[in-house]
Protein backbone atom coordinates (compact mmCIF):
# COMPACT_ATOMS: atom_id res chain seq x y z
CA UNK A 1 0.00 0.00 0.00
CA UNK A 2 2.92 2.35 0.66
CA UNK A 3 3.81 1.99 -2.99
CA UNK A 4 0.47 3.46 -4.12
CA UNK A 5 0.80 6.31 -1.65
CA UNK A 6 4.16 7.27 -3.09
CA UNK A 7 2.80 7.02 -6.64
CA UNK A 8 -0.11 9.25 -5.63
CA UNK A 9 2.34 11.78 -4.28
CA UNK A 10 4.33 11.84 -7.49
CA UNK A 11 1.10 12.19 -9.48
CA UNK A 12 0.10 15.26 -7.48
CA UNK A 13 3.51 16.89 -7.50
CA UNK A 14 3.78 16.39 -11.28
CA UNK A 15 1.24 19.23 -11.74
CA UNK A 16 2.74 22.57 -10.69
CA UNK A 17 0.30 24.57 -8.59
CA UNK A 18 0.66 27.61 -10.84
CA UNK A 19 -0.23 25.67 -13.99
CA UNK A 20 -3.90 25.95 -14.80
CA UNK A 21 -5.94 23.68 -16.99
CA UNK A 22 -6.22 23.97 -20.75
CA UNK A 23 -9.93 24.72 -20.47
CA UNK A 24 -12.76 25.21 -17.99
CA UNK A 25 -13.98 21.69 -18.70
CA UNK A 26 -10.53 20.20 -18.09
CA UNK A 27 -10.24 22.10 -14.80
CA UNK A 28 -13.64 20.88 -13.66
CA UNK A 29 -12.76 17.29 -14.57
CA UNK A 30 -9.50 17.52 -12.63
CA UNK A 31 -11.36 19.02 -9.65
CA UNK A 32 -13.87 16.17 -9.68
CA UNK A 33 -11.02 13.65 -9.74
CA UNK A 34 -9.24 15.37 -6.85
CA UNK A 35 -12.43 15.53 -4.80
CA UNK A 36 -13.16 11.87 -5.45
CA UNK A 37 -9.68 10.86 -4.34
CA UNK A 38 -9.91 13.01 -1.23
CA UNK A 39 -13.39 11.75 -0.31
CA UNK A 40 -12.33 8.17 -0.98
CA UNK A 41 -9.52 8.47 1.56
CA UNK A 42 -7.05 7.38 -1.13
CA UNK A 43 -4.46 10.00 -0.19
CA UNK A 44 -1.97 10.47 2.58
CA UNK A 45 -2.15 13.64 4.64
CA UNK A 46 0.60 15.24 2.55
CA UNK A 47 -1.10 14.24 -0.69
CA UNK A 48 -4.41 15.58 0.62
CA UNK A 49 -2.77 18.93 1.30
CA UNK A 50 -1.25 18.98 -2.20
CA UNK A 51 -4.64 18.05 -3.69
CA UNK A 52 -6.33 20.82 -1.71
CA UNK A 53 -3.77 23.37 -2.90
CA UNK A 54 -4.13 22.22 -6.52
CA UNK A 55 -7.91 22.35 -6.16
CA UNK A 56 -7.69 25.93 -4.90
CA UNK A 57 -5.72 26.93 -8.00
CA UNK A 58 -8.27 25.22 -10.25
CA UNK A 59 -11.23 26.82 -8.47
CA UNK A 60 -9.67 30.27 -8.88
CA UNK A 61 -9.08 29.58 -12.59
CA UNK A 62 -12.69 28.43 -13.05
CA UNK A 63 -14.01 31.51 -11.24
CA UNK A 64 -11.97 33.78 -13.51
CA UNK A 65 -13.22 32.00 -16.63
CA UNK A 66 -16.82 32.24 -15.44
CA UNK A 67 -16.45 35.95 -14.66
CA UNK A 68 -15.14 36.60 -18.18
CA UNK A 69 -17.97 34.63 -19.75
CA UNK A 70 -20.55 36.35 -17.54
CA UNK A 71 -19.21 39.73 -18.65
CA UNK A 72 -19.48 38.69 -22.30
CA UNK A 73 -23.05 37.46 -21.79
CA UNK A 74 -24.04 40.74 -20.15
CA UNK A 75 -22.67 42.57 -23.16
CA UNK A 76 -24.95 40.67 -25.51
CA UNK A 77 -28.01 42.65 -26.43
CA UNK A 78 -30.85 41.63 -28.65
CA UNK A 79 -31.58 44.15 -31.36
CA UNK A 80 -35.11 44.86 -32.55
CA UNK A 81 -34.63 42.50 -35.52
CA UNK A 82 -33.67 39.64 -33.21
CA UNK A 83 -29.99 39.81 -34.15
CA UNK A 84 -27.53 39.55 -31.26
CA UNK A 85 -24.61 41.96 -31.04
CA UNK A 86 -21.96 42.85 -28.50
CA UNK A 87 -22.55 46.07 -26.58
CA UNK A 88 -20.19 47.94 -24.25
CA UNK A 89 -20.43 47.26 -20.53
CA UNK A 90 -20.24 50.96 -19.65
CA UNK A 91 -22.70 52.48 -17.19
CA UNK A 92 -23.84 54.69 -20.09
CA UNK A 93 -25.90 51.77 -21.37
CA UNK A 94 -28.07 51.79 -18.24
CA UNK A 95 -28.46 55.56 -18.29
CA UNK A 96 -29.37 55.46 -21.97
CA UNK A 97 -31.91 52.71 -21.34
CA UNK A 98 -33.63 54.73 -18.65
CA UNK A 99 -33.71 57.84 -20.82
CA UNK A 100 -35.39 55.92 -23.65
CA UNK A 101 -38.32 54.88 -21.46
Per-residue pLDDT of 6-23, as tens digits, reads: 444 445 544 555 677 889
pLDDT at 74: 74
pLDDT at 19: 73
CA distance 45 to 49: 6
Contact between residue 27 and residue 21 where contact means Cβ atoms under 8 Å apart = yes
| Model pTM above 0.75 | no
Per-residue pLDDT of 71-92, as tens digits, reads: 877 777 544 456 666 666 655 4
CA distance 46 to 38: 11
Per-residue pLDDT of 33-62, as tens digits, reads: 999 999 998 899 999 999 999 999 999 999
Domain locations in the chain?
Answer: 2-99
CA distance 74 to 88: 9
CA distance 75 to 60: 23
Amino acid sequence: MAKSASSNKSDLSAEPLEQTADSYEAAMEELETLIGRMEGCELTLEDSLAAYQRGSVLVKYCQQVLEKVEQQVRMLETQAGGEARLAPLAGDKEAGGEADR
